[in-house]
Structure 1
Amino acid sequence: MDTHRNYENLDYAIGFGNHVETEALKGAVPKGQNSPQKCAYNLIAEQFSGTAFTLTRASNQKTWLYKIRPSAAHSPFVEAPEFGKYVKNDFMNDHGVTITPNQLRWKRLPLPEKPTTFAEGLVTVCGAGDPSIKQGIAIYLYAANKSMTNSSMFNSDGDFLIVPWEGEMLITTEMGKLTVKPREICVIPRGIKFSVEMNKPIRGYICEVFKGHFKIPDLGPIGANGLANPRDFLVPVAFYENTEEEFQIINKYLGKFYKCTKKGSPYDVVGWHGNYYPYKYNLDLFNAMGTVTFDHPDPSIFTVITCQTDEPGVAVCDFAIFPPRWMVAEHTFRPPYYHRNIMSEYMGNISGQYDAKEDGFQPGYGSLHSLFQGHGPDHESFEKWSNVDLQPIRYPYENLAFMFESTYMLKTCSFVMDDQVSLDHNYFHCWDKLAHNKLGDKP
């Protein structure tokens, strides 16, 4: 698991969606012209577009890369069946999926028994749609114990939102290097090459969106400040490798994996400028909103970033967190109330306890509650929070859970409905005692 790159004392640019300009050698980025006749240092100019050329200026995302070698210089891609054994992206048919409306919960994805890289350790849990039409979503778990050495991958199908819960990820991208540890997230937009190294085994969650990109939600009546602030998102700065070594390039394309070889490192970008890049965010910097009178607000107030469908206000994925915070509501059942809604909810736990299921939802666990399926606190949490003396309390720092919430009806992969990721067949029993609840006297 030893790394071969230095990830200490990294520098970052600041901002979300801003135009960033960075160079590892002074003068690598030309001034006044995107693609000059001859670039400095004999570099090659390459435009990298993350949106259609003809979008409005406000929506257009692209970056100019100044590279030692063009991305086109590699051997032909061939199928790579050693990758993607537990990856599925085509949810438009029912092959390889299990359709069930039941409430589902999974225990931790086991650590691999043999050396496994991030690219090899992906397991699709559920999803909807199809990347070939750029519509839909996929949710994964990952577990790895081996660094990607002289190996790089990129995803043609969608953006990866990575949520670690165990171990620090050391990520090299075409735009530079990032370190991402639990309580941080990272977004790697589609098409950007990256490698994951580690000093210890890593595990976590991923949400992939097949259309659009993540953005910070509008604040509406909250006003100018709150939730996630643009200044707290960190962007890598230019870093390059100038080597003659051969690299393996892995491409996830329409849910399958392909590989090719390339002379020299794909991380040969000496300078770049643009607004299409990977970024990371520390969840401890989230400014949570909540009631100071009564009632439990909707979880949308905890949205960190969102990817919207073509229908405004309806999300491919809202990424919401349930962070440490003060709870002061009066005359209120404080955990999430029992509910049914039109969204699919996949939840995960990064650390500590989740207040609605304090013993039954450990770090690394996941749950899926589909459209209109009732769910909420287990019996023990219901009894505790129905009878506790309501005083202002602060949820401890260790407690941090999250939710991928989507408008799509998610199908589960057949291989996660067996023991591959420890499906909890007894999950539904957490509400058994509540099924015998009796009508009581008026309080």
Structure 2
Amino acid sequence: MDDMMKLQYQPGFGNDFETEALKGALPQGQNSPQDCAYGLYAEQLSGSPFTALRGQNERSWLYRIRPSVKHVGQFSKLDLPGWKSAPCLDDHDLTPTQLRWDPPPFPDGEVSFVEGMRTVTTAGDVNTQTGMAVHLFFASRSMTAESFFNADGELLIVPQQGRLLVFTEMGKLDVGPCEICLIPRGMKFRVEVIDGPARGYVCENYGAKFTLPERGPIGANCLANPRDFKTPVAAFEDVDEQHTVIMKWCGGLYASDIDHSPMDVVAWHGNYTPFKYDLRTFSPVNAVLFDHPDPSIFTVLTAPSESPGTGNIDFVIFPERWSVAEHTFRPPWYHMNIMSEFMGLIHGVYDAKEEGFVPGGMSLHNCMLPHGPDVDAFEKASTVDLKPHKLENTLAFMFETRFPQHLTSYAARLETLQDDYTDCWDGLEKRFNSEDAG
């Protein structure tokens, strides 16, 4: 699919792109809306208010076989109980504590990407467009003659196992482990399983769109570089057959049957687009002498809030990298944090938890709950010869938010919940020795 990834994207910074699947489908200096080539309809998809600042204004013009008003009919309520939205205060017995899970089992039977969605946490309020939800996705069958769009927020998809072909209105994205895919709010798409069964993580962002974090003193380079974000070229299908469109709106799921495929955008131009990003192209920076930088130095994307420097959501990764600092404790330190942290592991070993945190698993450290390296990681980091060391075969990530993350009953009752997780700190004995005082 690499030949379909020709465009480069800088999320949230107003870049404008154009692509057409049929030559001449895009108007050039269009003088009249009556002039759409091939008998296409012009339609604008807006991801921001019309009056947003130029650098924050997001919209794309779509030239399609039918306008979107023909892509939905009368909606009926759809029962998908695995998908929850905030506020969701499910009934379960777990008290606030540090939590960790082994990989959850696949649902029984074959499920599509939408059917196999299982919500783990919710935060904020979907109705006020603040906060987020964390889901697991399981997909053992491709979506056929069906598509989905989310009016509640954008979806950041993080595959952990198996490859997906994400066919959006604006083109196709081939996405697998170590890559991410973002689908904007309101954009129709379907997910086909290339190499399955597939599973992974999804962050549903109710708030301001994900964008690149400011680099500050880092300067012009490193972290996630704009050139590595890829948008699809236009691709369409002209299919007049039964099709089901599924919509998520204010926490509810609804289905509508139509007589054609809505994946009919022949050409488009604009900056409100889906994209993919290969996490292996992230360029980390780190301390090279002493001390320990905050984990925010590994932020790939951030969804800002109204408070400068405080994310509605931050998407952070812990990739392969060199550790070279002297006279310092190298793994993440013990801390309590106003942000609540959901972590997942895509592959390999996480340096602060070398045992018990496995690929496909997850952990939750909610706001102001203390956490940090386990006993073995602490002892190793306290005694190891501090030579330059490369952390290899590792890719963990974190969805963190300023809101408390409320656990769903699905997650609370998972058989893979580790009831002994907090035991990993039991061996942290008192080390204080007043005789060392001068």
1:131 aligns with 2:133: no
Report matched runs for 1:285-434 at 5 Å. Answer: 285-396=281-392, 398-419=393-414, 422-434=416-428
Structure 1 residue 243: Cα displacement = 1.3
Structure 1 residue 100: Cα displacement = 3.4
C-alpha contact 2:150 2:185 (8 A) present in aligned 1: yes
Write the letter of the residue equivalent to 1:76.
Q
More deviation, 34-43/22-31: 34-43
Please name the residue that 1:26 is paired with. Answer: 23
Gapped regions of structure 2 (runs ≥ 5) = none
Please name the residue that 1:246 is paired with. Answer: 242
Using the alignment, how far apart are the partners of 2:166 and 2:382 within structure 1? 45
C-alpha contact 1:97 1:411 (8 A) present in aligned 2: no
What is the SS of the residue equivalent to 2:378? Answer: helix
Using the alignment, how far apart are the partners of 1:425 and 1:316 within structure 2? 30
Please name the residue that 2:4 is paired with. Answer: 10
Post-superposition CA distance 1:80-134 (Å, at most 9, x none): 11x2x1111131x635477732111121121233010000011111121222111
Write the letter of the residue equivalent to 2:8.
I
What is the SS of the residue equivalent to 1:58? Answer: helix
Distance 1:239 1:261, change over 3 A: same
1:233 aligns with 2:229: yes
Using the alignment, how far apart are the partners of 2:287 and 2:159 within structure 1? 29
Match of 2:110 among 98, 101, 115: 115
What is the SS of the residue equivalent to 2:159? Answer: strand
Post-superposition CA distance 1:185-218 (Å, at most 9, x none): 1111110111111131111111111111000011
Using the alignment, how far apart are the partners of 1:34 and 1:149 within structure 2? 39
Using the alignment, how far apart are the partners of 1:11 and 1:129 within structure 2? 35
Gapped regions of structure 1 (runs ≥ 5) = 1-6
Distance 1:346 1:35, change over 3 A: farther
What is the SS of the residue equivalent to 2:256? Answer: strand
Distance 1:35 1:54, change over 3 A: farther
Using the alignment, how far apart are the partners of 1:31 and 1:99 within structure 2? 60
1:76 aligns with 2:74: yes
C-alpha contact 2:92 2:412 (8 A) present in aligned 1: no
Using the alignment, how far apart are the partners of 1:67 and 1:375 within structure 2? 51
Post-superposition CA distance 1:248-295 (Å, at most 9, x none): 101111222110112221110000001001001001111101001111
C-alpha contact 1:112 1:144 (8 A) present in aligned 2: no
C-alpha contact 1:117 1:146 (8 A) present in aligned 2: yes
Structure 1 residue 312: Cα displacement = 1.0
Distance 1:35 1:239, change over 3 A: farther
What is the SS of the residue equivalent to 1:72? Answer: helix
- Number of aligned residues: 431
Using the alignment, how far apart are the partners of 2:414 and 2:250 within structure 1? 26
Using the alignment, how far apart are the partners of 2:31 and 2:109 within structure 1? 46
Using the alignment, how far apart are the partners of 1:128 and 1:99 within structure 2? 17
Match of 1:165 among 145, 154, 160: 160
Structure 1 residue 437: Cα displacement = 2.8
Match of 2:171 among 176, 186, 193: 176
1:41 aligns with 2:38: yes
- Provide the TM-score with structure 2 as the length reference: 0.95
Distance 1:152 1:310, change over 3 A: same
Using the alignment, how far apart are the partners of 2:364 and 2:98 within structure 1? 6
Please name the residue that 1:211 is paired with. Answer: 207
Write the letter of the residue equivalent to 1:439.
F
Please name the residue that 2:432 is paired with. Answer: 439
Write the letter of the residue equivalent to 1:316.
N
What is the SS of the residue equivalent to 1:168? Answer: strand
Match of 1:50 among 31, 47, 61: 47
Structure 1 residue 415: Cα displacement = 2.0
What is the SS of the residue equivalent to 1:320? Answer: strand
Using the alignment, how far apart are the partners of 1:173 and 1:244 within structure 2? 18
Please name the residue that 1:261 is paired with. Answer: 257
Write the letter of the residue equivalent to 2:214.
D
What is the SS of the residue equivalent to 2:67? Answer: coil
Using the alignment, how far apart are the partners of 1:97 and 1:316 within structure 2? 26
C-alpha contact 1:98 1:413 (8 A) present in aligned 2: no
What is the SS of the residue equivalent to 2:280? Answer: helix
Distance 1:8 1:220, change over 3 A: closer
Using the alignment, how far apart are the partners of 1:170 and 1:425 within structure 2? 37
Write the letter of the residue equivalent to 2:346.
I
- Provide the TM-score with structure 1 as the length reference: 0.94
Using the alignment, how far apart are the partners of 1:106 and 1:33 within structure 2? 55
Write the letter of the residue equivalent to 1:31.
Q
What is the SS of the residue equivalent to 1:167? Answer: strand
More deviation, 103-112/275-284: 103-112
Percent identity of paired positions between Structure 1 and Structure 2: 50
C-alpha contact 2:354 2:377 (8 A) present in aligned 1: yes
Match of 1:222 among 218, 226, 233: 218
Using the alignment, how far apart are the partners of 1:196 and 1:286 within structure 2? 25
C-alpha contact 2:5 2:230 (8 A) present in aligned 1: no
C-alpha contact 1:241 1:267 (8 A) present in aligned 2: yes
